[in-house]
Amino acid sequence: MKMNFPCQCCGRCCEHVGAAVLKARASSSPDPVTKAVAAFPYRLKLPGGYCEKYDRDTRTCTVYDKRPDVCNTVTMYHKYWAETMTEEEWIRKSKEACLCMRIVRNV
């Protein structure tokens, strides 16, 4: 399951996870991706709802090797998207989402 995802290691996904988790938890959608996001196992911290396992000083995940599926682009692709889009399309869409988060925070 090797994927060449060009992560910039900026930490924006960890800093913005709260918005997605809260939106998913408020949803009644039976969508499996929504349910996976809603099941995020860690606390969200203020300001902004960043993940409690995110080290803001080093911009790294303190549980990276054991991170939840929703934090792993390769796992999410294979579990939920492989049947509906190519790996290249998944990477493109993920990069677009990443860029949006970076623009919002001016990184």
HEC secondary structure over 14-42? HHHHHHHHHHHHHCCCCCHHHHHHHCCCC
**Taking the model in full, what pTM does it have?**
0.81
Diameter over CA atoms, the chain: 38
Per the CB < 8 A criterion, the answer to whether 12 and 107 are in contact is: yes
DSSP code for 85: S
Angle value at C-alpha 19, between 13 and 20, nearest 5 degrees:
70
pLDDT for 105 equals: 54
Count the residues in the chain.
Answer: 107
pLDDT string in tens for the chain (107-residue length): 567 788 888 888 898 899 899 999 999 999 999 999 999 999 999 888 899 999 999 999 999 999 999 999 889 999 999 999 999 999 999 888 888 877 765 54
